[in-house]
Amino acid sequence: MQARFLAATKATDGTLARYSCLSLWRVVDFDEVAPPQIVVATRHARKVPGIEVHRTRKPPRVLLLDGIPVTSPARALADISSVMPLKSLRRAAREALATRRATITELRGQTKRLDEALAEGFVPTRNVFEDAVHDLIRTTFEPPIAQQTLILDGIPTTPDFRWPAINLCVEADGSQYHDHVLARQDDAAKQARLEAHGERVVRVTWTQATTQPEQTLTRIQNAGAPRRVTKC
């Protein structure tokens, strides 16, 4: 990846930008099929086969990452916001915030689409599946606290989502992220600690969240989750 991106910047005398830049910053997954994306601050950009070149009247602040000239993650998110699906943009923005690649101040006010992606506020979810579960919960219930670390029996224990007032937790139980023996053992131990300290735990799989949303919401409701208050 690095060699390909470096070659693209040298061939165009430009700066790595947009999705390519975000993948080098480890904010999004690398797409080996997509051409490298470059931004240049000139009207007469050199066209190179296999490289996507974008011209700009607003030259970016150029940084070096792995020896490659790149834009900041905030600039890359702003530049790509008009073409990236909103859910993907929100996921990328959350990842940039969670990994401290960007700040709210840097992101807010850049583009309308990016502001839409930030509208719900920063939620420290760890992956797309947790995003999906959180979004489903918010359709019906008051927002829970995400990734709240509790010290139980001297062990840091972090349920995915929790309503502290009623000691109710929701765990996003996705096989993509919990499908090996040690991870399953950790999940079981975490649930046992939570339950031993009076927490109730509702586990939600990817299939349940994406193909059985109504049933999943009913399970969470029956566990006592506070319903969202509708303002008149």
**Tens-digit pLDDT profile for residues 113-159:** 999 888 766 666 777 788 888 889 999 999 999 989 999 999 999 99
> To which H or E segment does residue 156 belong?
strand 155-157
Domain spans in the chain, listed from the N-terminal domain onward: 2-118, 128-222
pLDDT of residue 117: 87
16-20, 86-90, 170-174 — which is least confidently predicted? 170-174
Q: Which residues contact 192 (CB under 8 A, 6 or more apart)?
A: none
- The first and second tokens of residue 206, run together, are 């990817």
pLDDT of residue 168: 98
**Which candidate, 201, 150, 208, 147, places its Cα nearest to that of 171?**
201
Task: At 228, give phi and psi (nearest 5°).
Answer: -65, 135
CA-to-CA distance for 223 and 197, rounded, in angstroms? 17
What does pLDDT average to over the chain?
Answer: 89
CATH topology classification for 128-222 = Endonuclease; Chain A (3.40.960)
Dihedral of the CA atoms 131, 136, 140, 142 (nearest 10)? Answer: -20
